[in-house]
Structure 1
Amino acid sequence: MGRNTTTPGDAGTTARPPGGAVRGRPGGRSLTGSLAGVALLLGGCASFSPDAGLSVASEYASLELGKDIAKSSDQGIAPSAEARVDALLRRPLTADGAVQVALLRNRGLQAAFNGLGVSEAQYVQATLPHAPTFSITQWGLGFNTEIERSVAASVLDLATLPARAEIARQRFRGDQYNAADQVLKLAGEARRQFYRTVAANQAIAFLEQALASTESASTLTQQLGETGALNKLEQAREHAFYSELGAQLAKARVQQRAERERLTRLLGLWGRDIEFRLPKDLPALPKRLVDGRGIEVEALRRRADVQAARFELQSLVGQFGLDQATGFISVFDVGFANQYARSRTFESGAAPKVDKGSLNGFSADLTIPIYDFGTTAVRGAKEAYLATANRLAERAVNARSEVREAYQRYRGQYDITRHYQTSVLPLRRTIQDQALLQYSGMLLDVTTLIIDARARILSNIQAIEAKRDFWIAATDLKAATVGGGFSADNFGGEAAGGTPGESLAVGTPGG
């Protein structure tokens, strides 16, 4: 980004009274030059950063997520970012790949980056002193005229410029951490939705396999019924189970399409890019779990939203002190004034007489607070400071609680998923094998076989959902530690709608 081209000296030099023809004391020019010199000394104008203020967000993305971010308006980075997205979309997306695509393509995040650019512009503007004001007044037309010229600058503005610049810097730093929190939030949402979408795909694949097996059993039942080996009740139960499973598969497909569209929106994809591919199964459980010791301290140290609140509080501390210092006198302007007069008189028999005169002086404007003596401004600043301090304290308390809750969900969901994989599913597999053997030996009726098949399908669907919920819980734990909008609503996929095995959990076969 280019540097700010407006300097405090520009305004000061243009405000000099015109007039090589004006006769005045040299003190006027000296005062104007002094005001410009003070402005230049105290201004210390900030420059626009080369990365548009994204240094904090980039650091969080790199250190906490292992990802990159880019501003789409940056012509030096945007082409390489697009090439990277294209490369990621050419192969099946992983969770990390989905997060990277979202960080480079999501337009909502780009809008947040643009908002940060506005904040930086306001910060740079706040470091510049207010330009002096120049006024000119003329009385009369023609040769007989009087002209009054003045240039004034705010002494109070120049004196408080360093304090106001520091307040603006703290606010901008807070906005930088807010932008980082937006990066973390999008990354968390994309990762959660990735797991929901892959889980929906995996559930459909299992239901399709189960439906194919059930279709074969239904056909066999019909043939046995034609031979008289099965009565109509047993045939109806088998056919009803097949029909119910088909309806459940159709419902799961609708849900899967909705989950994929949610992921597509988060990734910011359109056109041919929406044909991206996903893995068939969810990732395996990690071999090592996150250590829960010291996570509360880590959350307070690393969370972007907590850091943003701290900088907001620091800016209000400065604003409160400034309002206290300037509460009684809020306007104090001084300036140089020049009055120039020219007239021509005529006397009979003599040449016209020309009179010229110039008078220099000083001006001062001072606001007299005859109503509240700055009490309202100071009181308002104090209440704003206390409100922000309380919000920061609340955020710190909530951060501790959220990270504890997230860790409990993380560990609990890991144990649940492991239980399904090591106990429930193997037992269901054994029950299925033994039931088929007994059914083949005419030791088991079709009703019991259908009940066992229904229970096995439900257990497998719940095992898929348990693994999905573990990975969502792992994402929530990360969000609760570094920032990104942790919410208990993210757990279990409640926001995504019903689960594929819901209607299989209740009722009797064919009932």
Structure 2
Amino acid sequence: MVGKTLTASIAALVIISGCSTISQKEAFESVNQLTSEQGGKNLQWIKTPQEAASVDESVKALLSKPLTQENAVRIMLINNRALQQTYENIGIAQSELVEAGLMRNPLLGYSIGRSNGVTTSTLSVEVAFLDLLWIPLRRELGHLALEETTLSVGDTVLRSARDAKKSYIDARLAEEKGALNRSILKSHEASLQLAVRQYTAGNLSKRDMLKVQESYERERIESIKLARDNAAAREALNKILGLYGSQTHYTLSTEPLTRMEPAVSESGLEKCAIVNRLDMRSAIKSVDYAALQAGYSENTRLLDELELSVESEKTTGEKRFNTFGIKLPIPLFDFGQARVSKTQAVYNQNVHRLYETAVNIRSEVREGYAHLRYTFDIARSYDEVVVKNNQQILEETQLFYNGMLDGIYELLEDQRRLGEAKMEALDALGDYQKAQADLEYTIGGKL
């Protein structure tokens, strides 16, 4: 009879404490929804070899054609292993939520003694019954922790997407600057060949020939530096995309990088960022969690453990003797004041961190918007004035050369100046596009 009673009691406690909770899949889907609104679409959490193989096939398909910025971001979102590590934080937080809704396991004890032909057996069960009262509060804490983790992971996804865009832009610029430099180097080679022939024929002084040679060598060194920068930019992109081996043999798209005037004004961007930024929302959840944790510590400061025990004893020749008991901690030395003080300090710390986050975000918005406007103006000046002027100068020099009013050296020099102006314009355009990617992340949405 006692055994049936114990079994029924334990079963009831299990039913009460084992309520359903959000799954890891549901939590990850919420991250997908959060980030898809801001450009981080179709995330994939690799948990099995089959899923890893599926990702490899998707990456292979995307790399089979010239890589665009959009596809680079898609590859990063599913193939970047740093992100995959971050996704596991969701699994950890969800597991802690499940654990928060469970009671501690009951302690089952059994002892047997024998003396003078008499055997005594004792069966006991101890249950931390008060644990049941704190389960709803612990579960609420677990839900807040999971929400905070979800927002934090989402922010990491968006930051990674921004970094992938910038790495792609750097790789494109490095490749295109290398191509422009090759034409400039050919111009220097032509000048050097002509100078050597003229010097050999006695029509050019040694000093002037050496100047042309020195100019060529400097440009050749510059081409080596550009090749080095191109390799570094390419590897930075490979790293953030999670590519290796034959996967790195892709080609970049040759679609021209565009410059469109941003159709936004500074007004309202700060408020937009405060509302949309996932790290801001994560900081708010941290404050909520710390406040609830402080309340939990205050409520349990004197009585956080209570154990109920049932003991059944049977001695040979005697009837079974049942004992029911209770164990309570006596707050003589520890009144929970340290735990309460600590949780209050953690709460205050999170409040100050939230304020700091808000201040920093607002500053980042102002700085990012100013940087976007300045880089746009610089890129426009290079494109609409510097490059066009050098193009017209070259055309005029060509006319002078055709009329034998200018020499070949002047023509080649103006060709080089046009190439250098185009390289500077490329740098300015890249700075603008990276500023745009930064500001989109800063305000938490598309411009």
- Answer yes or no: same fold by TM over 0.5: yes
Call closer, same or farther: CA 1:143–1:337 in 2, change over 3 Å. Answer: same
Call closer, same or farther: CA 1:159–1:92 in 2, change over 3 Å. Answer: same
Matches of 1:274 and 1:397, distance apart in 2:
41
User: 1:438: Cα distance to partner?
Assistant: 4.9
Q: 2:338: which partner in 1?
A: 376
Asked if 2 retains the 8 angstrom alpha-carbon contact of 1:202 and 1:281, the reply is no
Asked if 2 retains the 8 angstrom alpha-carbon contact of 1:338 and 1:360, the reply is yes
Call closer, same or farther: CA 1:333–1:282 in 2, change over 3 Å. Answer: farther
Call closer, same or farther: CA 1:481–1:390 in 2, change over 3 Å. Answer: same
Asked if 1 retains the 8 angstrom alpha-carbon contact of 2:40 and 2:158, the reply is no
Matches of 1:66 and 1:179, distance apart in 2:
12
Matches of 1:442 and 1:50, distance apart in 2:
76
Q: 1:324: which partner in 2?
A: 298
Q: Does residue 312 of structure 2 align to residue 333 of structure 1? A: no
Give the aligned residue type for 1:404: R
Asked if 2 retains the 8 angstrom alpha-carbon contact of 1:234 and 1:447, the reply is no
Matches within 5 A, 1:58-457: 58-65=32-39, 67-73=41-47, 80-140=54-114, 143-280=117-254, 282-286=256-260, 288-342=262-316, 355-435=317-397, 438=400, 455-457=417-419
User: 1:74: Cα distance to partner?
Assistant: 5.1
Matches of 2:50 and 2:202, distance apart in 1:
78
Q: 1:346: which partner in 2?
A: none
User: 1:388: Cα distance to partner?
Assistant: 1.0
User: 1:144: Cα distance to partner?
Assistant: 1.4
Match of 2:25 among 38, 47, 50: 50
User: 1:162: Cα distance to partner?
Assistant: 0.3
User: 1:412: Cα distance to partner?
Assistant: 1.4
- Identity fraction in percent: 27
Matches of 2:89 and 2:359, distance apart in 1:
29
Q: State which structure, 1 or 2, has the greater radius of gyration over its C-alpha atoms.
A: 1
Call closer, same or farther: CA 1:17–1:477 in 2, change over 3 Å. Answer: farther
Bigger mean CA deviation after superposition, 364-373 or 168-177: 364-373
Asked if 1 retains the 8 angstrom alpha-carbon contact of 2:184 and 2:416, the reply is no
Call closer, same or farther: CA 1:47–1:129 in 2, change over 3 Å. Answer: farther
SS of residue in 1 equivalent to 2:111: strand
Bigger mean CA deviation after superposition, 176-185 or 223-232: 223-232
User: 1:17: Cα distance to partner?
Assistant: 6.0
After superposition, the CA RMSD in angstroms is 2.6
Asked if 1 retains the 8 angstrom alpha-carbon contact of 2:24 and 2:91, the reply is no
User: 1:76: Cα distance to partner?
Assistant: 7.4
Q: TM-score, normalised by structure 1?
A: 0.80
User: 1:260: Cα distance to partner?
Assistant: 0.4
- Which ranges in structure 2 are unaligned for 5 or more consecutive residues? none
User: 1:293: Cα distance to partner?
Assistant: 3.2
Matches of 1:241 and 1:199, distance apart in 2:
24
Give the aligned residue type for 1:62: S
Asked if 1 retains the 8 angstrom alpha-carbon contact of 2:149 and 2:282, the reply is yes
Matches of 1:67 and 1:362, distance apart in 2:
59
User: 1:36: Cα distance to partner?
Assistant: 3.9
Matches of 1:100 and 1:361, distance apart in 2:
66
Give the aligned residue type for 2:31: A
Matches of 2:369 and 2:60, distance apart in 1:
36
Give the aligned residue type for 1:222: V
Asked if 2 retains the 8 angstrom alpha-carbon contact of 1:296 and 1:403, the reply is yes
Matches within 5 A, 1:461-472: 461-472=423-434
Give the aligned residue type for 2:16: L
User: 1:312: Cα distance to partner?
Assistant: 1.9
Asked if 2 retains the 8 angstrom alpha-carbon contact of 1:39 and 1:158, the reply is no
User: 1:118: Cα distance to partner?
Assistant: 2.1
Asked if 2 retains the 8 angstrom alpha-carbon contact of 1:70 and 1:78, the reply is no
Asked if 1 retains the 8 angstrom alpha-carbon contact of 2:93 and 2:142, the reply is no
Give the aligned residue type for 1:249: S
Matches of 1:307 and 1:66, distance apart in 2:
17
SS of residue in 2 equivalent to 1:54: helix
SS of residue in 2 equivalent to 1:55: helix
- Which ranges in structure 1 are unaligned for 5 or more consecutive residues? 1-15, 19-28, 343-354, 484-511
User: 1:269: Cα distance to partner?
Assistant: 1.0
Per-residue deviation, residues 355-384 of structure 1 (Å, max 9, x unmatched): 223221211111122123110110011101
SS of residue in 2 equivalent to 1:467: helix
SS of residue in 2 equivalent to 1:147: strand
Matches of 2:116 and 2:287, distance apart in 1:
60
Give the aligned residue type for 2:356: E
Asked if 1 retains the 8 angstrom alpha-carbon contact of 2:393 and 2:414, the reply is yes
Matches of 2:208 and 2:130, distance apart in 1:
94
Asked if 1 retains the 8 angstrom alpha-carbon contact of 2:120 and 2:315, the reply is yes
Give the aligned residue type for 1:356: E
Matches of 1:256 and 1:283, distance apart in 2:
17
Q: Does residue 12 of structure 2 align to residue 37 of structure 1? A: yes
Per-residue deviation, residues 40-79 of structure 1 (Å, max 9, x unmatched): 235424253435x212321133221152111122577655
Per-residue deviation, residues 234-256 of structure 1 (Å, max 9, x unmatched): 22222221111111001110110
Matches of 1:45 and 1:305, distance apart in 2:
28
Aligned residues: 445
Q: Does residue 438 of structure 2 align to residue 476 of structure 1? A: yes
